[in-house]
Amino acid sequence: MIKKVYKVTPLIVALALLAACATVKKAPPPPPPKKASAATLQAIQDAQTAIAKAEKVGCNVTAEQAQVSEAQAQAKIPNNQKAQSLADSARTAADQCANRYWLHKARADLAKIRQYTNLNSSERASLARGRSDIGNNKGKAAYDVLSSLLSELQAARTTYTVIRGDNLWNIAGKHSIYHNPFEWPLIYRNNASRIHDPDLIYPNEELRIVLNPVKSAVRSAKHYAKTRGPWQNGRALGKDHAWLASQQGSKI
């Protein structure tokens, strides 16, 4: 029996391989997204919130609003990358404007706070925190701390009930009051309607105390205390009344 031998030429092999490849279907490319991503929508919302806050404090946000409008248009295509970039740019610009506003307000309050004396440890801690926030460019945080501290200092009042043996000198020297007896004229001034002669106060009298007097009032009070003269009933009354008159209209 004769066997037939067929030679497979390289050309036939190549054609077979090409035919096999032609039968393999390539996977189609993924379809483009049909709507904006959640990240894009969030970026646009964040920008709108920042713009509203900036506008509320007087910032001109026309350019930022235009950027958000363009971001919304890009989101409809959707071109998520472009939309997010535009929204982030608008948010950053709005935040920066609002931050400048709050920093200005915080620095103004800090200047007022510097006029007050006799701060306790808690008040000093708040002051340090506000200064730190200003240094770290955190305008709103600084303003929140310092505006609260300023209100606290402005409202800080207490009363003191006179006991036998008291005088304005030793009351002012108490640690819970001013811790400095030379500041007694501050008590006299704040109770002028009930103290006719600062050399004469009586048990059970209720004295109003301003806990955080301003520096100018403290300077005036200490100067007067050191130049008033001896504590003798009635001897300095004319000078006392003249000093009181000189303080009218100024803050304690």
pLDDT, residue 17, reads: 47
What is the CATH number for 236?
A: 3.10.350.10
Integer angstrom CA distances of residue 5 from 10, 77, 125: 16, 65, 101
| Mean pLDDT, rounded, for 78-105 | 97
Would you place residue 236 in the very low, low, confident or very high pLDDT band (cuts 50, 70, 90)? confident
Residue with tokens 């506008």: 55
Integer angstrom CA distances of residue 173 from 96, 103, 167, 195: 48, 38, 10, 18
- Give CA–CA dist 67/47, Å, rounded: 9
**Does 136 share its domain with 196?**
no
**Does 146 share its domain with 161?**
no
* Residue 28 lies inside a defined structural domain of this protein: no
Largest CA distance in the chain: 155
Residue 159: CB atoms within 10 Å: 8
pLDDT, residue 34, reads: 76
* Residue 20 lies inside a defined structural domain of this protein: no
**Does 124 share its domain with 146?**
yes
| Mean pLDDT, rounded, for 208-224 | 97
pLDDT reading at 8 higher than 50: no
Phi, psi of 159 (to 5 degrees): -125, 155
pLDDT, residue 79, reads: 95
164-200 confidence digits (pLDDT tens): 999 999 999 999 999 999 999 999 999 999 999 999 9
* Residue 36 lies inside a defined structural domain of this protein: no
Do 184 and 169 meet the contact criterion of CB atoms below 8 Å apart?
Answer: yes
Last residue of a domain, one of 129, 154, 179: 154
**Cα torsion for 129, 134, 136, 139, to the nearest 10°?**
110
* Residue 128 lies inside a defined structural domain of this protein: yes
**Does 216 share its domain with 180?**
yes
Beta strands in the chain (DSSP E): 157-161, 206-210
Last residue of a domain, one of 122, 139, 154: 154
Domain count, the chain: 2
Domain region containing 207: 157-247
pLDDT, residue 5, reads: 45
Do 191 and 207 meet the contact criterion of CB atoms below 8 Å apart?
Answer: yes
240 is written with which tokens?
A: 């006392």
pLDDT, residue 63, reads: 97
111-137 confidence digits (pLDDT tens): 999 999 999 999 999 999 999 999 999
- Give CA–CA dist 139/150, Å, rounded: 16
* Residue 138 lies inside a defined structural domain of this protein: yes
**Does 148 share its domain with 200?**
no
31-83 confidence digits (pLDDT tens): 666 789 999 999 999 999 999 999 999 999 999 999 999 999 999 999 999 99
Would you place residue 237 in the very low, low, confident or very high pLDDT band (cuts 50, 70, 90)? confident
143 is written with which tokens?
A: 């303003």
* Residue 237 lies inside a defined structural domain of this protein: yes
Last residue of a domain, one of 108, 139, 154: 154
pLDDT reading at 150 higher than 60: yes
| Per-chain mean pLDDT for the chain | 90
**Does 92 share its domain with 148?**
yes
**Does 150 share its domain with 179?**
no
pLDDT reading at 158 higher than 70: yes
* Residue 183 lies inside a defined structural domain of this protein: yes
